[in-house]
Amino acid sequence: DSGVTQTPKHLITATGQRVTLRCSPRSGDLSVYWYQQSLDQGLQFLIQYYNGEERAKGNILERFSAQQFPDLHSELNLSSLELGDSALYFCASSAGQGLNVAFFGQGTRLTVV
């Protein structure tokens, strides 16, 4: 158990819909990262938050947004969903300073039909 909790584990939704994925980081971790893994490919970095503020942005679509709340949990919002958005979405957390090891949650499998 990494200590990072993601909900829900599975999500099936229709094209055009909007979903919210939730992540609770490990206790004490200030950084939260979101990654997308499509079709057994590599992990694509989407976005990072540190202590409530956006720290880095990767290949995140404009239809996607995220935020980190004062209690440090984070949400990834995916809107106007397309079939190609079907993927595993992972959240990871780290202390956020220095040489970090990021610990991953179990992921949310999103299926867009």
Query: At which residue do the structure tokens 């969903």 appear?
Result: 81
Distance CA 52, CA 113 (A): 33
What are 39's two structure tokens?
A: 């079709």
**Residue 55 within binding range of other proteins, rule CB under 8 A:** yes
3-state SS class at 85: helix
Q: Which stretch binds other proteins (CB under 8 A): 18-26, 64-72, 73-81, 100-108?
A: 100-108
Single-letter amino acid, residue 100:
N
**Residue 28 within binding range of other proteins, rule CB under 8 A:** no
**Residue 99 within binding range of other proteins, rule CB under 8 A:** yes
Do 25 and 73 form a contact (C-beta atoms < 8 A)?
yes
| Nearest distance, CB of residue 16 and other proteins, angstroms | 27
Binding site for other proteins (CB under 8 A): 2, 4, 31, 33, 35, 40-45, 48, 55-56, 58, 90, 92, 94, 96-107, 109
